[in-house]
Amino acid sequence: MSKALYRKYRSKSLSEVIGQSHITDILARAITSGRVSHAYLLTGPRGVGKTSVARILAHEINGLAYDDSTHLDIIEIDAASNNGVEDVRDLREKVQIAPTSAKRKIYIIDEVHMLSKAAFNALLKTLEEPPEHVVFILATTNVEKLPATIISRTQRFSFRPITTTDAVKHLGNIAQAEGIKINDDALQLIAERGDGSFRDSISLLDQLSSLVDDQQTVTAELIENTLGLTPAHTIDNILAAVEARDLGRLIKLLNTAYDEGVSGTLLASQLTSAIVKSLAQKPQLLPLLDGLMDVAKSPQPELKLISVLGISTNAKPSVKTVALAAPVHEVSASIAELERPVPKAKPVTKPATKPATQPSAPAVALAAATKPLGEAKPFDWAALIEYTRTHYVALYSVLSKCSYEITGDRLILYTNSHFYKKKLDDSKYSPLISKCLQEIGVFNLNVETIPTAMPPKDGAAATIAAIMGGGEEIVLET
């Protein structure tokens, strides 16, 4: 059985570790000078070398050459499966026993954040005052889950994600040593998909190398097909459609990608990477990033992606529309009510059209996503109020007290008070209004709020209202 490439090319000395010189240089000097700490804490993202450095450090402290064989005085513990207080109590008893043959007995506790609270308490005293012959090396991807009392008793070293440049160089060296033919574009794509993890990048290279024979070359196109990625030119076309505010072309491109089996989550990830790389040249794409990062959290990522890109496509470059380019946050209908909701909306003027029976939110979103692209619906205030009453009670309790006016591409909400204006302008509700508009089929309105009652449309009435210090127009039906 052949050994996995990430294991075959694992670093065997501190000098071989790539991309973490800010850590390895300090550790090497400490070992050379004999200033070895009783406890180290290695933190950082997965696949960047924490466990490898822990093993190398353990061997170099004891003056041993690093290999894959086990050593009686270097004990590795997986905290994910040994996280109870009894496991730590057993460890506390064993640390008292002197090393078998090495200078020090070294305990490597991987994913230490998985220890229970009781286990941390049991470990604390031993970590604070261990026997002279014991060194602890703790490693974790979630340092925020560690008690401060544990962190303060260690020397902490924070690992960085591997840069794309370092990853490409290292992957190229491995490919050359293994006789794998691969072009530069493919190496770049593998490094990007590794997302800062050497282990993930090397594992992907290992996987792809088995798809070609000795005469074939691993190409970017092969990687895209294997991983179900959208081709780079399609990503460019999607972003170009957003910049051109071409909603029809955008929907067509997204549907084509979905038809080819690309997931919304993966497509959002590719778009995010493309935007980050081009921000210096295209800063106007910056507002998209927050929305794209929300796609992975959505239960319907494909529709969420259409929502985020669609709103940005329709946004106009003005201060009032910045919120529309921001993320369309998922807001639960269980938000605590601001006050008791009124049973029925009472708009200032009679709606021009009868309230339509509202389809479900998925049905509305699906209608917007299916081909061919249909025309956006005209604005229907009663439909908006009914939709919020059904799906977002807290928003309904405020919105139902407002009056509205359509002016061009603006939906002006007269909130009747500064209190309600503040609520609707809040980051919790502002994107939610845009979301509700979209879900009833309205995509082309920019929302503004005014903290007063809607001014009377009748000139004489407006004059009287101004003299009286304000007023509300009421339509009496006969």
pLDDT in tens, 176-197: 999 999 999 999 999 988 888 8
Contacts of 356 by beta carbon, 8 Å cutoff, 6+ apart: 380, 383
Q: Report the DSSP beta bridge partners of residue 138.
A: 41, 109
Degrees, nearest 5: CA angle 156-124-115: 80
φ, ψ of residue 96 to 5 degrees: the values are: -75, -20
Res 225: pLDDT: 85
Whether 99 contacts 133, CB under 8 Å: yes
pLDDT in tens, 357-380: 444 343 334 344 443 333 477 889
Whether 107 contacts 73, CB under 8 Å: no
Res 426: pLDDT: 84
User: Which is more confident, 12 or 362?
Assistant: 12
pLDDT exceeds cutoff 60 at 143: yes
Res 1: pLDDT: 55
Is domain 5-158 given the CATH code 3.40.50.300 in the classification? yes
User: What three-state secondary structure class fits 368?
Assistant: helix
Write the CATH number of the domain with boundaries 337-478.
3.30.300
Contacts of 412 by beta carbon, 8 Å cutoff, 6+ apart: 404, 405, 406, 448, 449, 450
Q: How far is CA 163 from CA 170, 185, 197, in A?
A: 11, 16, 9
Whether 274 contacts 239, CB under 8 Å: yes
When pLDDT is cut at 50, 70 and 90, the band that residue 473 belongs to is: low
Whether 322 contacts 447, CB under 8 Å: no
Reference 40, options 114, 130, 115; nearest CA is 130
Whether 112 contacts 140, CB under 8 Å: yes
Predicted TM-score of the model (pTM):
0.59
DSSP state of 284: G
Q: How far is CA 254 from CA 11, 227, 267, 365, 441, in A?
A: 42, 18, 9, 14, 18
Average pLDDT over residues 108-121: 90
pLDDT exceeds cutoff 50 at 244: yes
Q: How far apart are CA 448 and CA 409, in angstroms?
A: 11
| Least confidently predicted of 72-76, 198-202, 326-330 | 326-330
State what percent of residues in the chain have pLDDT above 90.
36
Res 350: pLDDT: 43
Whether 77 contacts 110, CB under 8 Å: yes
Q: Are strands 403-407 and 410-414 parallel, antiparallel or unpaired?
A: antiparallel
Sign of CA dihedral 416, 422, 423, 428: positive
Burial of residue 363, with CB atoms counted within 10 A of its CB: 0-12 exposed, 13-18 middle, 19 or more buried = exposed
User: Which is more confident, 445 or 470?
Assistant: 445
* Domain spans of the chain, in order of start: 5-158, 164-227, 232-325, 337-478
User: Which is more confident, 320 or 46?
Assistant: 46
User: What three-state secondary structure class fits 106?
Assistant: strand
Mean pLDDT score of the chain: 81
Instruction: Say which CATH class 164-227 falls into.
Output: mainly alpha
349's tokens: 């003027």
